[in-house]
Amino acid sequence: MKGNMAETSMVKVQSGNTKLANLSSFYKRLKRNKAAMAGGYLILFLFLTALLGPYFTQYDPTIPDYTAKLESPSKVHWFGTDHHGRDIFTRIIHGMPITFYVGFVSVLIGSFFGIGIGLISGYYGGMMDAVLMRVMDVLLAFPGILLALAIVSVLGGSLTNVIIAVGIFSIPTFARIVRGSTLAVRKLEYIDAVKALGATDMKIIFQHILPNILSPIIVQATLRIATAILTASGLSFLGLGAQPPTPEWGAMLSAGRSYMFDHPHAAFFPGIAIVIVVLAFNIFGDGLRDALDPKMKKGESR
């Protein structure tokens, strides 16, 4: 009995060492991609700014000050003021948590349902696979922004409805990726061995299939956050997202477009904030895809 316990503990230690080695190898591959590292550090900086920045701003992001309407950037107002006299820098800082919240929560919703549909469809196949994938095909037939626009038009304009809409249009992408990965893993010999030992379907799916297809899911989630932020900003730009006076970047850009020629700062700074966040997630996502690519691992071992 003691021998069995010792062997079990040794297996756990070896498993832990293997995971650490894999993590170290992954970080080395990621570190080689300078652009991806820059994107990752930028995301970390923006996240910390979203978390702590609102506590260090001196102006209220929603209260108007009509004595300071449309002032140009200065030492007092770094990014200038909007048509209500509100400090644009303050509103961008206070809008950053909203941007991250919309991006992460909507992708979380889409990935949760998409992963579930993809696993069920890929593992069981047959009629269930056919029905689920045809539903996904219908959703994929619509361009993402149009599908989100249709959903928000039905539900009504609000930040919560934008998150739901972006989450729904993210489901088919995750479902397709997970289904394809599940089909590939399901055919491997170790899955047949686990089945022969009497493992239940749920155990096979969540303990043996899902952990082995996490790489494409993580990459897709990272890239999808950028798409979600861009789509949510677009819906707010059209007046279907966050409602005034919420300092949401898409709504700020929409309000500033009326003053683009005389006071370009009103639209420039919210627009450049959206570009920076989306670019950071896209660059980091591309780096993750390269670092998690099995072909790169094989090349590295050689």
Q: At what angle do helices 214-237 and 88-124 cross, to 10 degrees?
A: 140
Burial class (CB in 10 A: 0-12, 13-18, 19+), 136: buried
Q: 147 Cβ partners below 8 Å, 6+ apart?
A: 139, 165, 168, 169
Across 239-267, average pLDDT:
89
Examine the pLDDT at 36 and tell me if it is beyond 60.
yes
Question: 294 or 56, which is more confident?
Answer: 56
Query: For the residues 77-103, what does the mean pLDDT come to?
Result: 94
Predicted confidence at residue 298, as pLDDT, reads 45
Query: d(Cα 248, Cα 59) in Å, to the nearest integer?
Result: 16
Cβ-in-10-Å burial (0-12, 13-18, 19+) of 282 comes to middle
- Is residue 5 pLDDT above 90, yes or no? no
Amino acid at 289: R
Please tell me the predicted confidence (pLDDT) of residue 16.
39
Tell me: the pLDDT tens digits for 195-207? Answer: 888 888 898 888 8
What is the spatial distance between Cα 229 and Cα 274, in angstroms, rounded to a whole number?
A: 8
CA distance 284 to 36: 4
Query: Is 68 a residue whose pLDDT tops 80?
Result: yes
Q: In CATH, what class is 35-301?
A: mainly alpha
Whether the pLDDT of residue 258 is over 70: the answer is yes
Write down the pTM of the prediction: 0.85
So what's the pLDDT on residue 14? 39
In sequence order, the 6+-apart residues with CB closer than 8 A to the CB of 297 are 25, 29
List the chain domain ranges. Answer: 35-301
- For residues 158 and 243, the answer to whether their CB atoms sit within 8 Å is yes
pLDDT given at position 249:
93
Give every CB contact of residue 186 below 8 A, 6+ residues apart in sequence.
Answer: 122, 123, 209
**pLDDT, tens only, 143-172:** 778 888 888 888 888 889 999 999 998 999
pLDDT score of 287: 85
